[in-house]
Structures are given as structure tokens and as C-alpha cells.
Chains A and B, each alone.
Chain A
Amino acid sequence: EPEVTQTPSHQVTQMGQEVILRCVPISNHLYFYWYRQILGQKVEFLVSFYNNEISEKSEIFDDQFSVERPDGSNFTLKIRSTKLEDSAMYFCASSGDYSYEQYFGPGTRLTVT
């Protein structure tokens, strides 16, 4: 069964460093998303991406964040200068055309020290 994959599973970085989280969405899906979940809190929407551009972003997704689809399979989230409060699980999700059903990857645990 096709699934969303994410790498790395765990990333430790120092405050102020740049990180890139990688995702491979389900191959025939057209919509891609990033969510985050701070430990013990709810899943929060960051950004949605369709047709090579951002279609929606939340207040969390400020200038420190960017997304890119560098090739036909990968979808990345970059955090330019990490802060302690960026520590969270980051989930990538994808959905097909005309479908709101989003399928999540296993997540990347980001720890900022």
C-alpha cells in the first residue's frame, strides 16, 4: 500500500541553525501539507502546497519557514534559523485530487537545543 515517507526520523540541531525536513508524498497525490505537533499538544496546520505553489499557510508559517518541491517526488520544509520553540514532531501529509482525505507520514522529531 502506498505511503508517505519522511526523513530523517529524528533531527537534533542547535538554535539558530537551518534544518531541512524531507518528505516523499504518495506518488499520485497532488496536494501536500506540513503539520506540527508539539509534545502533548494538538496537531497544527502549517502549510498546504499545490501545483508548485503554497495554497494556504497558517500564522505559524512565518518568514523562517519555506517549502519546496525540488523534483517530482520530494517535498521539503526548511526552517531557516531554528528556535527552541520549533522543537516538535513535523508531519508531512498528502491527498489526491478532489479529495480532502489526507494521509500522514511517520513524522520527523525535531529537537532544538
Chain B
Amino acid sequence: QKEVEQNSGPLSVPEGAIASLNCTYSDRGSQSFFWYRQYSGKSPELIMFIYSNGDKEDGRFTAQLNKASQYVSLLIRDSQPSDSATYLCAVEGGANNLFFGTGTRLTVIP
């Protein structure tokens, strides 16, 4: 069973700060990594994906991948109250299925 671990939080940051969310995974052969945002009672919304080691930036979001350490992170710059949600790390399982972590709950304090 592929494991994806996240700190459940809650993580609280003040508005305008950088939020840093972390994820580790167990399968060294995993190739594709995803960050989803899930508001309470809603479905997961894809916000970032990363396939190669290093950083990938998209607006206020940066995904970082280190396959040697089996570690993927998401940075949210200039955090806004609307960023308050649970952030789910997902790892592709090799057969088009995704394995999800339990998610980190982020609260951005105005």
C-alpha cells in the first residue's frame, strides 16, 4: 500500500505570510505528484502538479519536489483568507490512480 503522509495541522498563518505545506510518500518509484485544495463540504480542486525534481511556480503557488528524499511541498505566498482550506497531497500510484494524504488544514488569519 502506498502511503502519503501529511501533517494534519491546523496550520495558521497571518494574511500576507507564506504558508508551507509538506508531504512525504513511501513509494520511491512514484513519478507524479499533485496538490488539491478542498473547502469544507466540497470536492478536491487541482491546484498544482509536479513531475520533475525542483520547483514549479504558478502564480502565488510553488510546488517543490525532492524525489531522493521522497518529499513534496507547497508554498503559498501572500496568503489570503480565501486560501483557508484543507490541502491534499496526492501521489500517482502507477495505474492512473491517486493515493491521497489526510490533508493539512490551513487557516489564514486576517
Binding site for B on A (CB under 8 A): 31, 33, 35, 41-45, 48, 50, 55-56, 58, 89, 91, 95, 100-107
Contact among B34, B93, B100 for A101, CB-based, below 8 A:
B34
Cα A37 to Cα B33 with chains together (Å): 20
Most buried by B among A44, A100, A101: A100
B98 touches A102 (CB 8 A): yes
Count of chain A to chain B residue pairs whose CB atoms are closer than 8 Å in the complex: 59
Does B17 sit at the interface, judged by CB under 8 A?
no
Chain B residues within 8 Å of chain A by Cβ, number: 22
Q: Is B69 positioned at the interface, with any CB of A under 8 Å from its CB?
A: no
Residues in B lying within 8 Å of A, measured CB to CB: 32, 34, 36, 42-46, 49, 88, 90, 92-93, 95-103
Closest to B96 in A: A48
- A50 and B97 CA atoms in complex are apart in Å by 12
